[in-house]
Chains A and B, each alone.
Chain A
């Protein structure tokens, strides 16, 4: 099956700092999503981005499908950004099955 690797596994930031999270995947995909899991366990959709670039407020994401990676940018981080960020991909012809990366655990300190 497809392999999904996220880096870094852990990240500690001071409030106001910027960060870049990376997701590498081992095969062609027709779906890539970024999620934020808050401290209460709820998974929140951030981006559906199988290719190209999207922005939503302080967050933006870029997927370069031909090179099999995606980046999530967080600017001017806030304590509410803390939690775990997951990248998930759906391999071509995989029947809608999402494969999750290991996640990046982010802590933003005040």
Chain B
């Protein structure tokens, strides 16, 4: 398995501002992902964070709104830009271990936009 930490664990932000969420893994992993979980809903994949290149975004998510960085094999950031109340969600990072299809999730960042 892997130990995954996220910062911040929660935040309350004003409309129109941006928040950067950090994800740190205790070992090198090839695959890192960012998910969103809206209140009372299931998880939806935002993007795959690629090391050294642009992230791969899923339908409905764009780089201008959710810029992602992955400077190395253990760290990634997700920025939620120009926030609106509709962005209030839990944002989770996950990793897939080498030689395995299993994904492990961080504790999540609970974001409230007022």
Contacts and interface: CB of A to CB of B under 8 A. Distances in A.
Interface of A: 30-31, 33, 35, 40-43, 45, 48, 50, 86, 88, 90, 95-103
B48 A98 contact: no
B19 interface: no
| Binding site secondary structure of chain A | strand
B101 A50 contact: yes
Interface of B: 1, 31, 33, 37, 42-45, 48, 56, 58, 90, 92, 94, 96, 100-105, 107-108, 110
Nearest to A29: B101
A43 B105 contact: yes
Given A41-B90, A86-B42, A95 B101 contact: no
Contacts of B100: 48
A42 B1 CA distance: 15
6 contacts: A41-B107, A43-B43, A88-B43, A98-B33, A98-B43, A100-B42
A102 B37 CA distance: 11
A98 B103 contact: yes
Contacts of B94: 98
B48 A41 contact: no
Given A33-B103, A90-B101, A103-B42, A96 B48 contact: yes
Contact of B108 (A41, A100, A102): A41
Given A42-B108, A88-B103, A97-B33, 18 more contacts: A31-B101, A33-B102, A33-B103, A35-B105, A41-B37, A41-B108, A43-B108, A45-B103, A48-B100, A50-B101, A86-B43, A95-B48, A96-B31, A96-B33, A96-B101, A98-B45, A100-B42, A102-B42
